[in-house]
Amino acid sequence: MSLKFDLISVDGNARRGRVHTAHGDFETPAFMAVGTAATVKALTMEQVAATGTQVILGNTYHLMMRPGGDLVEKMGGLHKFSGWHGPILTDSGGFQVMSLSNLVKMKEEGVEFTSHIDGGIKHFMRPEDSVHIQHQLDSNITMVLDECLHLPTTRERAEKNVDMVTRWARRSKEAFIDRDGYGIFGIVQGADFKDLREKSAKALTEIGFDGYAIGGLAVGEPQSVMFDMIATTTPHLPDDKPRYLMGVGTPLDILGAVERGVDMFDCVMPTRAGRTAQAFTRHGTLNMRNARFTDDKNPIDDKCGCPACKLSRAYIHHLVKCNEILGATLLTQHNLWFYQDLMRDIRDSIEQGRFKEFKDEFIKKYIKENKDEQQ
């Protein structure tokens, strides 16, 4: 295994680290900007980098559908194809097994699915195929193919899921071509059953991966359940490997997960919110469509250094109301900037041994002042 992780400092269960890849390092805890189809929507890669983002995420299923692994490989891989020169993680397509479930048939050998684009062409993807496509994409971090379950689910269904995705994880590991600066992560499943989460984590650890993801959460369950499953899982994962909570989430979700030992995150929330006129701030969220911003001379967040915050709330509101593309671009970049500022503050607080104090202060301001803003 040749993807290296340095654990720099620990504060309680919160961890500060660094992941070394063939396309550079990234600091943890890290938030990965989601670039599903080899683009972070509304932004150039230079604009993404300006936010402080160090690693982005692409999606194997969507890139397989278009433009296709063969073409991306021919173009020199995702880095050259997209213009992003830093580390890239690719999701295997396991989430789409759930989100496109009406188009999917699960089999022991792999996943049969009908194209969501034209609804007519059928495809079959085995764990080995997913790994091969991610190799074509030149992804620095390959994810094993798994199955993400809807919650709630039955214990019987969850048990079968854990056993099958463990077999798929082994097949994925065997298909992975090890090379310097690249790695493969296993994905812990188990729904909301503590013993199955523990079983899955131990089985994956026995197989041995460069890192371990916690999957099947942030799919509609209460935050308390998500935190409980994280706290159940992380003690059974190696200390010297990065831990990735898939598809999370809100600033408060991230803080709670860091507190329970998670190192990596991704979520469409900040970019999707930017395209729908929502701005994240240290004082909560703002709906920039709101008429009260019509003549507001203040920046979105006076502690933020992004391009949007060099302008007034009134101007951003004007762009949004006129459906100008620039409004979506500025708000998307602002939200990613906010998230990366948060991650940097989290890392600093862990190094200083004051993570809990920082978390409590952040939450108090974020919740209280958000309520004040909405009144």
Catalytic residue among 129, 253, 263, 266: 266
- What would the 3-class secondary structure string for 100-127 be? CHHHEEECCCCEEEECCCCCCCEEEECH
Please indicate whether residue 91 is annotated as part of the active site: yes
DSSP state of 193: -
Please indicate whether residue 11 is annotated as part of the active site: no
352 Cβ contact list (under 8 Å, min separation 6): none
Helix (H) or strand (E) holding 74: helix 69-74
Contact 125, 93 (CB under 8 A): yes
CA pair distance 184, 186, nearest whole angstrom:
7
Catalytic residue among 11, 91, 138, 253: 91
Q: Which residues sit opposite 281 in a β-bridge?
A: 284
Instruction: Report the b/e string of 53-67 with b at 16+ CB within 10 A.
Output: bbbbbbbbbbbbbee
CA pair distance 31, 267, nearest whole angstrom:
8
Active-site annotation, residues: 91, 266
